[in-house]
Structure formats: C-alpha cells, structure tokens
Amino acid sequence: MREGSITALTLAADGIHEDRTTHWIWIKKLKLNPKIDLFWWRLYNNALPSNSLFVNRRISFFSGCPRGCEVVEDKDHIGGRCFKIRKVASLLNNWGLHIPVYECLEDCLGGLQKMLGREGLAANLYCTVLWLVWKSRCKLIYTGKEDSDNSIAANAISFAVQSNFLNFQQDNWDAYQLLLSSHWNPPPPGWIKINVDGALMKNNRARIGGVARDDKGRFLLAFDNPLQHWDAAQTELFAILFLKNVVKEWMFEAQGVIIEGDNRNIINFLQNSVKEWKVSKVIEDSLAFLIDFKQVIFSYSSRLGNKLADMCATMSLERSFLWEDLLENSIPPSFLHCLKEECDDLGIS
Ligand SMILES: [Zn+2]
C-alpha cells in the first residue's frame, strides 16, 4: 500500500516534470528576446522575486501585489491576473492587435501553446507584455513610479515585432486578427497607419486611394490615382505599391507603419513576399521603398475599417490628388465628416 502510494507519487511527480519540460520546449519556439526568455524561465520555475516568494522565505510579511490589487502576488498574478496586464491588453485590443488575457499561469501556458505557429506573434506579444509589466512593477518598488499603460503597450509591439520578425510581421499576421473590428483602429503611439483601397470604375478604368493617420486618428495625408482597369485584386495591390509615390521622408522617422487593406489575398501575398525577402535578402524593386521604414506590418481590415480609403478611391474627383493638409479646397465635406467621425469614435480629442 505504502509502496503503491510512493509509486503513484513518483509517477505524478514525473508527470509534472514532463509537463514542465514540454512546456519549456515550445516556449523556446516563440524565439523571445533573451531577456524576456529569462524572465519566462524564472516565472515558469516560480523563481521571480515576487512578494509571495518573499513571504514563503520569511523575508517579508506582505504577499500582496505592490500595485494594490489586494491579492497575493504569485505566479498566477504575474502570469495574467494583475489589472495592469489587463489594462495593457485592452489598449492593444483597441489598436486592433488582439491579445488574450488569462486567469492563471497554467491557463496561460495552455493558451499560448495553442497560439504557436499561426498566432505566434500574438503569443510573443503576450510574453513581452508580461515582461514589461513585471519590469514596471520592479520600477514601482524601487522608484515609486510605474511605466504608463500606453508606453508598455507600444514598447511591447516594438519588441515582439523586432525579436520575432526582423522588422516585418510574420506570415500570419492577419490570422492573428481573427476578431476583425467593424471600425477603424488607430496604430500604436508613434506609428502611422495607412489604409489603402482600390475601386473598379467603368470604361476599363480603376482608381486607387489611401489615407495616412497617426495614433490619435489625425490626418497626415490622402491620395487617389487612376489606373488602367485590371481586376479587383490587382487594383488593391497597385494601391499599396503606389505608396512609394506618396510616402514622405518624415514618415521613416515613425516607430513603424501599418499598411492596411481589405483584400485578404493581397495582404497575404505581401506578407509572403516579405517573408521570402527575409530569406533571400532580395526584395522586389516594387517593394524596396518599404526598407526605409523602421517596421512594416501588413494588416487586413474589414471593409468598414477601411471606409475612408475606399472613399478616396471612389470619390472620382476630376483629377488625381495628394492632400497633405485638411485646408485643401478640393477636399469634399463627406471626407471630412467621415474622418471626424472615426476620430470621435476613438474617444480622443
Ligand atoms: Zn496586481
């Protein structure tokens, strides 16, 4: 009887050990930045100097979260439960980058493992958020001040994109945006988002258009240009390639650019081209202008989220245009109205 229990215990312990090792094997596949990798290894092995660890070691009496969450600061709290993590996640969601939240470290590990591959970037982003939130927590303890939710979220994107995708997004960024929102989402602070669209017209003509905005939804520029009639997909592609004619020098100073269109095939195609470029180090001439940006993300949007770009392509003004401020006489009120509406929806003035 006794022996049996011991065997059962040993088996259970082996099971745990095996589980832990397997988890660690796939976490490595996320290719986290070495510092983030180390943080996760410590979180995973319950080796972070959390308040609950200090109490267990009788170094301190206070086991709560230093942010005043009024619960024990243990690996589950650091692994997803803390309100700071939730606030940062909600910001990322507002920017159109959907990341999950978890109740405990076990759920988190299970969830992240499922995201491996198709949603690898989202998983990487989550791991990065947790690390930055932990760093900010340590800063709070030593300096009394925390990093803002905004700066953590923006930093997390830069880290995740750089460490995993060499300045470009993974091949499945759009799979990562399964929860397509029905409205326009602003880019992260310091980034630019350019929405593009194409429209087929009569008489073998097509038009392409686009709008660039910043993280507050502020207008940066808009353009429209006629094309010979191709098919719908080709037109969408040309709308993106046409950007090389409209991007301005100052745009390269931005943290990055999100190029968003509502044709899933074309966005996939561009994501794949960039992936090939990373391997071959040869980029097609038509895409070479992208190299000057600090980071480029191609993102798929619903038609509703791409409304203003669609408007540019379908306005059918007599001449093609490139507006660089809102004082241009030729800007129709309908465009201004839509721009204002989308800006108002963001709740930022
Ligand atoms: Zn907390």
HEC string for the chain? CHHHHHHHHHHHHHHHHHHHHHHHHHHHHCCCCHHHHHHHHHHHCCCCCCHHHHHHCCCCCCCECCCCCCCECCHHHHHHHCHHHHHHHHHHHHCCCCCCCCCCHHHHHHHHHHHCCCCHHHHHHHHHHHHHHHHHHHHHHHHCCCCCHHHHHHHHHHHHHHHHHCCECCCCCCHHHCCCCCCCCCCCCCEEEEEEEEEECCCCEEEEEEEEECCCCCEEEEEEEEEECCCHHHHHHHHHHCHHHHCCHHHHHCCEEEEEECCHHHHHHHHHHHHHHHHHCCCCHHHHHHHHCCCEEEEECCCHHHHHHHHHHHCCCCCCEEECCCCCCCCCHHHHHHHHHHHHHCCCC
Domain count along the chain: 2
Find tokens 């044709």 and name the residue.
Answer: 263
Q: Would you state the pLDDT for residue 278?
A: 66
Q: Would you state the pLDDT for residue 79?
A: 92
Q: 191: CA distance to ligand 1 center in Å? A: 29
Answer yes or no: do 139 and 288 share one domain.
no
Q: Would you state the pLDDT for residue 19?
A: 57
Average pLDDT over residues 226-255: 89
CB under 8 Å to 338, separation ≥6 — which residues?
307, 308, 311
Answer yes or no: do 129 and 193 share one domain.
no
Average pLDDT over residues 205-212: 92
pLDDT in tens, 1-47: 344 443 333 334 444 444 556 677 778 878 788 889 889 988 988 88
Please indicate, yes or no, if residue 98 is contained in any of the structural domains: yes
Answer yes or no: do 194 and 289 share one domain.
yes
Tell me the pLDDT band of 310, cut-offs 50, 70 and 90: very high
Q: 75: CA distance to ligand 1 center in Å? A: 11
Q: 121: CA distance to ligand 1 center in Å? A: 25
The closest of 172, 224, 222, 163 to 192, measured between CA atoms, is 222
Q: 85: CA distance to ligand 1 center in Å? A: 8
Answer yes or no: do 155 and 258 share one domain.
no
Q: Would you state the pLDDT for residue 164?
A: 52
Q: 106: CA distance to ligand 1 center in Å? A: 18
Answer yes or no: do 25 and 129 share one domain.
yes
Average pLDDT over residues 197-203: 85
Question: By percentage, how much of the chain surpasses pLDDT 90?
Answer: 29
Q: Would you state the pLDDT for residue 157?
A: 82
Q: 43: CA distance to ligand 1 center in Å? A: 15
Q: 69: CA distance to ligand 1 center in Å? A: 4
Q: 148: CA distance to ligand 1 center in Å? A: 14
Please indicate, yes or no, if residue 26 is contained in any of the structural domains: yes
Answer yes or no: do 131 and 210 share one domain.
no
pLDDT at 196 exceeding the cut of 60 = yes
Tell me the pLDDT band of 54, cut-offs 50, 70 and 90: confident
pLDDT in tens, 122-181: 888 899 999 999 999 999 999 999 999 988 988 888 777 665 543 344 444 444 444 456
Please indicate, yes or no, if residue 232 is contained in any of the structural domains: yes
Answer yes or no: do 281 and 337 share one domain.
yes
Please indicate, yes or no, if residue 135 is contained in any of the structural domains: yes
| Residue range(s) defining the domain that contains residue 43 | 2-165
Please indicate, yes or no, if residue 171 is contained in any of the structural domains: no
pLDDT in tens, 245-282: 999 999 999 988 989 999 888 888 887 777 777 667 77
Q: 227: CA distance to ligand 1 center in Å? A: 55
Name the more confident of 148 and 97. Answer: 148
* The last residue of a domain, from among 115, 140, 165: 165
* The last residue of a domain, from among 116, 138, 165: 165
Answer yes or no: do 137 and 204 share one domain.
no
How high is the mean pLDDT of the chain?
Answer: 81
pLDDT at 57 exceeding the cut of 80 = yes
* The last residue of a domain, from among 107, 134, 165: 165
Answer yes or no: do 203 and 158 share one domain.
no
Please indicate, yes or no, if residue 170 is contained in any of the structural domains: no
Q: 250: CA distance to ligand 1 center in Å? A: 39
Taking the C-alpha atoms of residue 236 and residue 337, their distance in angstroms, rounded to an integer, is: 24
- 219-228 β-sheet, strand order: 296-300, 256-261, 191-200, 205-213, 219-228, 321-323
pLDDT at 335 exceeding the cut of 50 = yes
Find tokens 């059918």 and name the residue.
Answer: 316
Q: 338: CA distance to ligand 1 center in Å? A: 40
Q: 84: CA distance to ligand 1 center in Å? A: 6
The closest of 117, 116, 128 to 89, measured between CA atoms, is 128
Please indicate, yes or no, if residue 141 is contained in any of the structural domains: yes
Q: 269: CA distance to ligand 1 center in Å? A: 42
* Residue 264 burial (CB count, 10 A): 13
Question: By percentage, how much of the chain surpasses pLDDT 70?
Answer: 85
Please indicate, yes or no, if residue 173 is contained in any of the structural domains: no
Backbone angles phi, psi at 320, to 5 degrees: -70, 160
Residue 219 belongs to domain with CATH number? 3.30.420.10
Answer yes or no: do 159 and 221 share one domain.
no
Answer yes or no: do 83 and 196 share one domain.
no
Q: 64: CA distance to ligand 1 center in Å? A: 8
Answer yes or no: do 187 and 107 share one domain.
no
Q: Would you state the pLDDT for residue 170?
A: 42
